[in-house]
Amino acid sequence: MSAMNELCNETAARIRELRESSDASIENTAAMMGISPDTLRMYEEGKTDIPIGILYAAAGIFGVDLTDLMTGKSPNLSRYCVVRSGKGPEIERYPGYRFQSLAFDFQNRLFEPLLVTLNPEMNETIAPVTHSGQEFNLVMSGKIRVIIGGSTIDLDTGDSIFFDPSIPHGQWALDHAPASFLTVIMHDHPSDPTKH
């Protein structure tokens, strides 16, 4: 099993453990996440990748930080968090996307900054997603296509976009070359377990 598959299975197990320890039914939890119970079962069993929006929802429902779900460790910094180039934990939640957390060790984050790398060979597997909050993307290298609902926007290095991520959206690498962008996702609630 690859390290990435192991990480995904550990994350799935943490969600299941949190749900079971809070005596929440799979039906009620799935309803709060806006998915079917069968889909939640597949996520909890590690049979399919868990979208980042579902991870945010699980963190909010169970009153834990996203970092807790992803790594099993709580963030412990409150003044500042430095992440050296290439040193943030990697998250591969969707085929074609590689996320690198840029604030994983900072407590009570109001937003989630992530460096996203797109693999053009995986463009065909990328499907639109939705999640709550607000989202900002800044293209760091290459060229990307962003589709939001029925709108298609091509962005070059240095271009940015801010949008409502509750609308189905996705990003694709253009020109058969890898591309990267900074995404900043604003939470509906701070990632502070005492506030849930």
pLDDT per residue as tens digits for the range 107-163: 888 888 999 999 998 888 888 888 888 999 999 999 999 999 999 999 999 999 999
Domain check: are 180 and 99 in the same one?
A: yes
Domain check: are 67 and 104 in the same one?
A: no
Q: Which domain holds residue 11?
A: 3-71
- Closest Cα partner for 49 from 116, 98, 86? 98
Domain check: are 132 and 187 in the same one?
A: yes
CA 30 to chain centre: 18
Look at residue 83 and tell me if it is in a domain.
no
Rounded distance between C-alpha atoms, residue 55 and residue 192, angstroms = 15
Look at residue 77 and tell me if it is in a domain.
no
Look at residue 76 and tell me if it is in a domain.
no
CA separation, residue 76 to residues 103, 109, 129, 186, 189 (Å): 11, 11, 30, 20, 19
Look at residue 165 and tell me if it is in a domain.
yes
Domain check: are 51 and 116 in the same one?
A: no
Give tens-digit pLDDT for 153-183: 999 999 999 999 999 999 999 999 999 999 9
